[in-house]
Structure 1
Amino acid sequence: MRVIQDGTIALGPGKVQLLEAVREQGSISAAARSLNMSYRRAWLLMDELNRALESPATVSEHGGQSGGGSTLTPVGEEIIRLYRGIEARAAAACAPEIEALMKLVKG
């Protein structure tokens, strides 16, 4: 599922996966590494997401002795919760169609 805003993907599976990685890793750079993504790409995705929201999904601490990092805001946590819930409900509601599609895939 993707949420499109002004022709841009405001929210989709990649951004949700990145949010989950930021939550797990504690920084955008570590999250990017865990997803085999460049830091620049991850930063651009988070910036694009945060600009699309009323309140940001992440907050970042800049370097210093502890090295900085990023954490999810309550908005970021809510995005993950809602998105994954929608996925689960859609999968359950569309199980026969998903099964039919899977029969078309090599395996």
Structure 2
Amino acid sequence: MNKLGNLRPTIRLSITNPASDSGSMFGRGIANLCLGVRETGSLNAAAKSMGMAYSKAWRIVKNTEAALDIQLLDRDGAHGSTLTEAGDKILDAYVAINDKLQEQAEKEFARILG
């Protein structure tokens, strides 16, 4: 098999608010943070699992919420965080679309390479 067979396309999906002037968007990083919050119930734990400082995670969430004009997380101080209904929906949509596009990209890449 030639070396092209070892390659794999990678999809970089982002969700933006066209009305926002901010460069912040809902992409892979914030999606991973939200998945971590969903699994652990804590933004701090999600950030730590990604090797990220809590302050950076907090800034990413706040900037993304401002850019999208939606609240992603409900924060309960020392009791952790949960995704809001909107946060759950955007995360589910992101994961579903990303997975489908990734699968299609891999099939198309394999077809083109023959």
Alignment of 1:20-59 (within 5 A): 20-59=35-74
The Cα shift of 1:3 comes to 2.9
Q: Give the counterpart letter for 1:20 in structure 2.
A: L
Rounded to whole Å, the distance in 2 between the matches of 1:45 and 1:98 is 33
1:61 alignment counterpart: 76
The amino acid of 2:66's aligned partner reads: R
Indicate the residue corresponding to 1:6 in structure 2.
Answer: 21
Q: 2-side partners of 1:99 and 1:7: how far apart?
A: 37
Show the counterpart of 1:79. Answer: 90
TM-score by length of 1: 0.78
Q: Structure 2: 5+ residue runs without aligned partners?
A: 1-12
Q: Are residues 99 and 41 of structure 1, via their aligned partners in 2, closer, same or farther at CA, if it must alter by over 3 Å?
A: farther
Structure 1 residue ranges without an equivalent (≥5)? none
Contact kept, 8 Å, 1:21 with 1:31, in 2: the verdict is yes
Distance in 1 separating the partners of 2:61 and 2:84 = 13
Structure-2 separation of matches of 1:6 and 1:55 = 15
Task: Note the C-alpha offset of 1:97.
Answer: 4.2
Relative to the length of structure 2, the TM-score reads 0.73
In the TM superposition, structure 1's runs of 4+ consecutive aligned residues that sit over 3 Å from their partners are 96-100
Taking a change above 3 Å as real, the CA distance of residues 12 and 98 of structure 1, as seen in their structure-2 partners, is: farther
Q: Which has the higher contact order (CA 8 A, sep 6+)?
A: 2
Please give the alpha-carbon distance, in whole angstroms, between the structure 1 residues aligned to 2:83 and 2:102.
26
Is the 2:24–2:67 Cα contact (8 Å) retained in structure 1? no
1:7 Cα deviation after fit: 4.7
- Which residue does 2:105 correspond to in 1? 94
Deviation at 1:99, TM superposition (A): 4.0
Label 1:99 to 1:39 Cα distance change in 2 as closer, same or farther (>3 A): farther
Percent identity for Structure 1 against Structure 2: 30
Task: Give the total of aligned pairs.
Answer: 98
Q: Could you say what the CA RMSD is over the residues aligned between the two structures, in angstroms?
A: 2.2
